């Protein structure tokens, strides 16, 4: 039995006449001693002063200065200014600042520093500033920014269009006339009209109500609708399932039932994203590598070799320009954006782009039950129908039960019974209804009296609470009673509600006369069935290494039965155990172990879902949470990846990172696979870019140290441009999704990068040594270098050798086996061919005195290609050897798995919770959708105005409000169960 709501003792349990009398009495005793014109928004929604949810309706009208005729347009306009719109406002981003933000991160800073060096520090000693390098660097920066900006704006417009399509409308009385307008224009005091199928646009108190039932599954997680009467409150986001009503709006925006959950959402992790942390660490690795060799070159060139100022600056520019993977944030952003478009083709709309990367690493999927795993539609379990007579078949029983059901304005139970017929028309086919008694809480049954058209005989059928129907029956015996109670207990243990059905014949022609007595015919078990594809979806998720847990607000028995049907296990617990450590004895050694081991939890409130997700994250898991209701919103925001399923509430959509537009969870499997493909592309590129950094800084530093070789900065700039243009195509590369959740092992990535980089450096250093210290190639080609160690043709040759082998490395990093066994995409292969044709032409024909290169001719170009092919072939074996070493020495400690014990000293922390220097500067590249995402809590708490903040203080939920939040849900569930459940 639920406790009464705070401030509303027993009021809702009174019969309607007594309730009305009580309200009238209260109204005569209570007066509101306040001037409404001076009332602040904070005072209006201060529960200690005024409780708009429980006070008499007449007092609500008095306090809000309105009546049943509605507001005028001028009054509504004034209140909009005071209360704010009834929606979550989007924050517009200045496109110029948005574009410039792409040049504001540590990697871009290094390139910008190189541009400053080229234009401001390279002049002197009779030479002009290095305009060529400066212009090239600026073009490279601008080009990367343009690509990222275009992708971001396009993605943002797509999400904005999606959200605009979700804007709800309502029917409101203004200036004495009913008008249809957007729900965002509602203000407290408006009179609204709702009917069957409407979504309640704002928290309201019913003024008039005719046979109203409201589906609050999004708020409570309970399947059955709740009956409402004049004076009752209806909550924003709930759905009218029966009847019509007029109501006065009492709360908009944050001051609604689910708005009070905003503090939970807002307290979700607002730090830098997982991908931002990865970008920061990779960027720091590259910057540190450059810094080490930069300092070494400064000491070697100037104090050691006594280089002139300008000559030394050029060598430093080579490291600054060539060592920074300037395109890395853009490449990863484009990869994610293209991945988001691919996921959209599978009916998954991404509202936070970095969530794709985190989805690839998800190890636990927490799913709501009602409307997600199940249909949120009651259904008759035909195979479990219990017959108490041999005179009728199951189909006959269902047909007679449909006779005793409404065919219009149905409640959930009547809809399930009529829907169980192979043709709904059979509910009235062949009969003439003479009298119908609808369900009411007193009789707890429905009854129909009808004439069979074919025979002209009269019959009655009644369906309802099992004990009530049994007491009506003339065939009631101790044996029948014992059997029925046993069947009811069995169904209850499985979480199935039951209805009993009885029938009697009438020998005369008076519909109101006595019949021959009711005979108990059958028990009909009712449940919320799983979606047809849910079981397969869960099996596929498990095969992908993702454990699925059910998190539901429904009863424990129902959750267990659903878990058994879906094959996901039935080791489930009531959520109250999370706060009662004394109940853990014999169950688990700690709450963390219980959360990890359990197949699910029932009877949860928003704070329970939030806590479950948080505990799993602290154990080291990346957690995805699916849901459709307001009660899911805090957990959706807290989870690494929040997934709002089809037909989810606005609150769930705005808190989620991914919105599914197709019913069921099958779409999320494609999202898992797609995200893992995207992750593979990003990992391949990360290894490649770090390897090229190591390769450039080591190669040209050692060439300077060993041979006093000065490579032209402009050539390294061309190399960077061709590399960036080619590597962008990796976003569409063919890759296979991993069979297990992915994770960033940066030690592994850096280890590969160092080995690959050093190997490629060795190929260039050995090649240069053979060219300069021997006459091997000169004798074959019959050509000599007459310009010394910095012969212009030697610059061209080294440029071509570095360009070919560096870009060819991508074919090694992208494949798990030999490079030729995994076919790359046409775009990647085509871009590589075009880049190397351009590089070869430059090396063969370019005579650019300003950058100290001269065409080397086709003989030398052929020698370079042959040399690179010889060095490329062993790279696969280097990869295999590194993989063996990493597998042996560099292990990844996975988080404790479901079903295992949790060590007492477990203190795992995800990369996403560890702050990294510079991580926040990658936000523009990794959250292009987030600036437009309607985040349920953060947007409301961040918006200015009296309704959201006051004197700079954000709204928070105190303990009393949280108790009211819990109590309201508990009471609604209690009302439902008392009316319909056994």
Query: What does the DSSP assignment read for 732-799?
Result: G---PPPSS-----HHHHHHHHHHHHHHHHHHHHHHHHHHHH--HHHHHHT----SGGG-HHHHHHHH
pLDDT value for 901: 60
Which segments of 584-660 are extended strands (E)? 600-602, 623-627, 641-644, 658-660
pLDDT value at residue 439: 80
Indicate if 368 belongs to the active site.
yes
pLDDT at 579 over 90: no
Q: Classify 105 as helix, strand or coil.
A: coil
Give the pLDDT of residue 422: 86
pLDDT for the residue 496: 81
Q: Which of 130, 133, 232, 368 is catalytic?
A: 368
Angstrom distance (rounded) from CA 263 to CA 270: 13
Closest Cα to residue 400, out of 526, 522, 528, 525?
Answer: 522
- Split at pLDDT 50, 70, 90, the class of 694 is very high
Strands, E assignment, 216-310: 226-228, 233-234, 239-251
Query: Residue 533 belongs to what H/E stretch?
Result: none
Q: Choose between 6 and 552: higher pLDDT.
A: 552
CA distance 381 to 527: 7
Mean pLDDT of the region 705-719: 90
**Range with lowest mean pLDDT among 119-128, 403-412, 518-527, 796-805:** 119-128
- The pLDDT score that the predictor gives to residue 81 is 84
Name the band, by pLDDT with cuts 50, 70 and 90, for residue 887. confident
**In the prediction, which pLDDT does 751 show?**
93
Q: Is the pLDDT of residue 836 over 70?
A: yes
Task: Supply the pLDDT for residue 959.
Answer: 40
pLDDT digits (tens, 9 = 90+) for 48-91: 677 787 788 888 888 888 888 889 999 898 888 888 887 655 55
547-551 and 600-602 beta bridge pairing: parallel
- Local confidence band at 146 (pLDDT 50, 70, 90 cut-offs): confident
| Distance of alpha carbon 307 from the chain centroid | 57
Under a CB-based contact definition with an 8 Å cutoff, are residues 299 and 118 in contact?
A: no
Who wins on pLDDT, 964 or 572?
A: 572
Is the CB of residue 91 less than 8 Å from the CB of residue 939?
Answer: yes
Residue position matching structure tokens 């000559």: 311
* Contact assessment for residue 897 and residue 546, using Cβ atoms and an 8 Å cutoff: no
**Residue 905 half-sphere exposure toward CB, CA atoms < 13 A:** 0
Q: What is the mean pLDDT of residues 245-273?
A: 63
The CA distance from 280 to 919, in Å, is: 5
pLDDT score at 665: 77
The C-alpha torsion from 921 through 925 and 928 to 933, rounded to 10°, is: -40
Tell me the three state secondary structure of residue 104. Answer: coil
Query: CA 516, CA 520: separation in Å to the nearest integer?
Result: 13
* Token pair 């307001």 in the structure block, residue: 630
Q: For residue 228, what are its two tokens?
A: 């409402």
Contact 370, 221 (CB under 8 A): yes
What are the structure tokens assigned to 221, written together? 């997680």
Q: Are 524 and 498 a contacting pair, CB within 8 Å?
A: yes
Amino acid 830: pLDDT = 93
Q: Is the pLDDT of residue 774 over 70?
A: yes
b/e map 74-91, b = 16+ CB within 10 Å: ebbeebbeebbbbbbbbe
Give me the pLDDT at residue 927, please.
41
Q: Which two tokens stand for residue 845?
A: 């024909």
Which residues have a Cβ under 8 Å from the Cβ of 514 and sit 6 or more positions away? 506
- DSSP annotation of 2 reads P
Q: For residue range 210-220, list pLDDT tens digits in order.
A: 888 888 765 65
Residue % of the chain over a pLDDT of 70:
78
By three-state DSSP, how is residue 431 classified? Answer: strand
pTM for this one?
0.68
What's the pLDDT score for residue 365? Answer: 92
Torsion of CA 784, 790, 792, 793, to 10 degrees: 40
Mean pLDDT on 447-458: 91
Measured distance CA(839)–CA(720) in Å, rounded: 11
Could you tell me what percentage of the chain is helix, strand and coil, using 3-state DSSP and rounding each to the nearest 5?
A: 55, 15, 35
Task: Mark out the alpha helices in 1-72 (DSSP H runs).
Answer: 16-29, 41-44, 57-64
- Cα–Cα distance, 844 to 858 (Å, whole number): 6
What is the token pair recorded at 109? 């800073």
> Which residue reads 């600054």 in tokens?
320
Burial class (CB in 10 A: 0-12, 13-18, 19+), 889: exposed
Q: Which of 130-134, 171-175, 488-492, 901-905 has the lowest mean pLDDT?
A: 901-905
* DSSP symbol at 352: S
Residue 318, classed as helix, strand or coil, is helix
């Amino acid at each position: 039995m639920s406790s009464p709501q705070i401030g509303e003792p027993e009021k809702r349990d009174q019969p309607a006449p007594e309730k009305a009398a009580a309200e009238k009495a209260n109204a005569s005793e209570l007066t509101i001693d306040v001037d409404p014109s001076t009332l602040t928004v904070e005072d209006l929604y201060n529960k200690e002063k005024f409780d708009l949810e429980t006070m008499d309706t007449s007092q609500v009208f008095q306090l809000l200065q309105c009546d049943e005729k509605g507001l005028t347009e001028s009054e509504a306009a004034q209140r909009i200014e005071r209360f704010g719109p009834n929606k979550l406002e989007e924050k517009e981003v200045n496109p110029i600042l948005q574009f410039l933000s792409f040049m504001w991160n540590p990697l871009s800073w290094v390139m910008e520093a190189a541009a400053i060096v080229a234009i401001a520090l390279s002049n002197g000693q009779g030479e002009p500033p290095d305009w060529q390098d400066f212009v090239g660097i600026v073009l490279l920066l601008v080009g990367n920014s343009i690509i990222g900006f275009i992708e971001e704006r396009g993605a943002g417009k797509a999400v904005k269009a999606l959200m605009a399509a979700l804007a709800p409308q309502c029917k409101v009385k203004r200036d004495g006339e009913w008008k249809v307008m957007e729900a965002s224009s509602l203000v407290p005091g408006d009179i609204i009209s709702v009917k069957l199928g409407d979504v309640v646009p704002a928290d309201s108190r019913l003024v008039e109500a005719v046979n109203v039932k409201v589906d609050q599954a999004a708020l409570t997680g309970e399947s059955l609708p709740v009956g409402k009467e004049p004076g009752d409150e209806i909550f924003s986001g709930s759905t009218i399932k029966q009847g019509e009503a007029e109501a006065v709006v009492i709360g908009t925006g944050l001051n609604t039932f689910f708005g009070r959950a905003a503090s939970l959402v807002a307290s979700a992790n607002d730090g830098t994203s997982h991908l931002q942390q990865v970008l920061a660490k990779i960027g720091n690795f590259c910057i540190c590598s450059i810094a080490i060799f930069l300092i070494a070159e400064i000491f070697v060139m100037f104090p050691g070799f006594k280089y002139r100022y300008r000559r030394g600056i050029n060598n430093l520019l080579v490291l600054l320009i060539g060592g920074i993977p300037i395109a890395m944030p853009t490449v990863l952003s484009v990869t994610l954006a293209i991945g988001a478009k691919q996921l959209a083709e599978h009916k998954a709309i991404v509202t936070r782009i970095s969530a794709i990367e985190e989805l690839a690493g998800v190890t636990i999927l927490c799913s709501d039950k009602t409307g997600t795993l199940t249909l949120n539609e009651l259904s008759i379990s035909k195979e479990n129908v219990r017959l108490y007579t041999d005179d009728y078949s199951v189909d006959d029983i269902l047909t007679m039960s449909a006779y005793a059901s409404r065919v219009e304005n149905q409640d959930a139970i009547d809809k399930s019974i009529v829907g169980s017929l192979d043709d709904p028309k059979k509910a009235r086919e062949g009969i003439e209804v003479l009298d119908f008694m609808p369900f009411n809480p007193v009789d707890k049954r429905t009854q129909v009296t009808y004439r069979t058209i074919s025979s002209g005989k009269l019959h009655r059928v009644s369906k309802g609470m099992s004990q009530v129907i049994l007491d009506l029956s003339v065939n009631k015996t101790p044996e029948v009673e014992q059997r029925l109670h046993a069947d009811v207990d069995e169904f209850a243990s499985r979480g199935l509600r039951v209805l009993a059905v009885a029938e009697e014949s009438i020998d005369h022609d008076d519909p109101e006369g006595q019949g021959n007595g009711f005979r108990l015919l059958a028990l009909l078990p009712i449940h919320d069935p799983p979606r047809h594809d849910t079981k397969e979806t869960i099996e596929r998720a498990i095969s992908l290494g993702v454990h699925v847990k059910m998190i539901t607000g429904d009863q424990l028995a129902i959750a267990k039965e659903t878990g058994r049907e879906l094959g996901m296990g039935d080791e489930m617990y009531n959520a109250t155990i999370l706060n009662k450590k004394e109940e853990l004895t014999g169950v688990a050694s700690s709450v963390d172990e219980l959360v990890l081991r359990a197949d699910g939890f029932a009877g949860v409130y928003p704070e329970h879902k939030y806590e479950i997700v948080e505990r799993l994250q602290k154990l080291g898991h990346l957690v995805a949470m699916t849901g459709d209701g307001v009660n899911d919103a805090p957990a959706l925001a807290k989870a690494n990846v929040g997934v709002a399923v089809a037909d989810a509430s606005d609150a769930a959509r705005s808190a989620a990172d991914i919105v599914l537009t197709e019913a069921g969870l099958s779409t999320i499997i494609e999202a898992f696979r797609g995200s893992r493909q995207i992750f593979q592309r990003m990992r391949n590129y990360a290894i490649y870019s770090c390897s090229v950094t190591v390769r450039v800084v080591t190669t040209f530093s050692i060439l300077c140290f060993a041979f006093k070789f000065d490579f032209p900065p402009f050539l390294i700039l061309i190399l960077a441009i061709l590399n960036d243009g080619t590597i962008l195509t990796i976003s569409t590369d063919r890759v296979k999704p991993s069979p297990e959740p992915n994770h960033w092992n940066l030690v592994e990535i850096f280890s590969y990068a160092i080995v690959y980089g050093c190997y490629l450096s060795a190929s260039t250093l050995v090649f240069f040594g053979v060219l300069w210290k021997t006459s091997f190639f000169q004798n074959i080609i019959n050509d000599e270098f007459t310009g010394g160690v910095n012969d212009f043709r030697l610059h061209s040759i080294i440029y071509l050798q570095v360009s070919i082998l560096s870009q060819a490395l991508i074919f090694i990093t992208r494949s798990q086996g030999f490079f030729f066994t995994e076919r790359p995409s046409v775009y990647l292969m085509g871009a590589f061919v075009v880049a190397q044709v351009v590089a070869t032409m430059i090396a063969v024909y370019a005579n650019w005195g300003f950058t100290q290169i001269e065409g080397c001719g086709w003989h030398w170009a052929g020698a370079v290609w042959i040399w690179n092919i010889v060095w490329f072939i062993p790279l696969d074996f280097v990869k295999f050897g590194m993989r063996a070493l990493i597998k042996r020495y560099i292990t990844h400690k996975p988080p404790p798995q479901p079903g295992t014990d949790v060590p007492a000293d477990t203190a795992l922390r995800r990369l996403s919770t560890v702050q990294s220097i510079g991580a926040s500067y990658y936000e523009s590249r990794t959250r292009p959708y987030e600036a437009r995402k309607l985040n349920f809590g953060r947007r409301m708490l961040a918006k200015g105005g009296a309704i959201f903040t006051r004197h700079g203080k954000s709204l928070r939920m105190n303990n009393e409000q949280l108790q009211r939040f819990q109590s309201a849900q508990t009471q609604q569930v209690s009302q439902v169960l008392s009316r319909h459940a056994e």
